[in-house]
């Protein structure tokens, strides 16, 4: 969205990297590499949550920063529970 509105290539690269990591982890979660795939998804979710959480604290905008930060926090909790 930031790329289409402002032409931010950094945003495009970052969102593409996070998307790629989550797609790879989703593809590997059903097989014998379940734990490493879940750790990859956890890392991607924590990265996204940290970035969006900082943006929310700075701007106080609920969408998209607050929503993504909360969603990433919930997903991170789910990944941690699934590993243990």
Examine the pLDDT at 11 and tell me if it is beyond 80: yes
Examine the pLDDT at 2 and tell me if it is beyond 80: no
- Assessment of whether the complete model's pTM goes beyond 0.75: yes
Sequence spans of domains, the chain: 2-83
pLDDT-based confidence at residue 64 (cuts at 50, 70, 90):
confident
The CA angle 30-38-57, to the nearest 5 degrees, is 140
The CA angle 43-61-4, to the nearest 5 degrees, is 75
pLDDT at 54: 96
State the average pLDDT over residues 64-78: 95
Examine the pLDDT at 68 and tell me if it is beyond 90: yes
């Amino acid at each position: 969205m930031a790329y289409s509105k402002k032409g931010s290539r950094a945003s495009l690269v970052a969102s593409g990297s996070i998307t790629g990591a989550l797609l790879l982890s989703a593809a590997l979660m059903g097989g014998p590499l379940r734990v490493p795939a879940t750790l990859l998804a956890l890392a991607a979710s924590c990265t996204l949550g940290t970035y969006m959480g900082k943006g929310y604290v700075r701007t106080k905008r609920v969408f998209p920063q607050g929503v993504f930060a909360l969603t990433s926090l919930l997903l991170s909790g789910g990944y941690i529970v699934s590993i243990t």
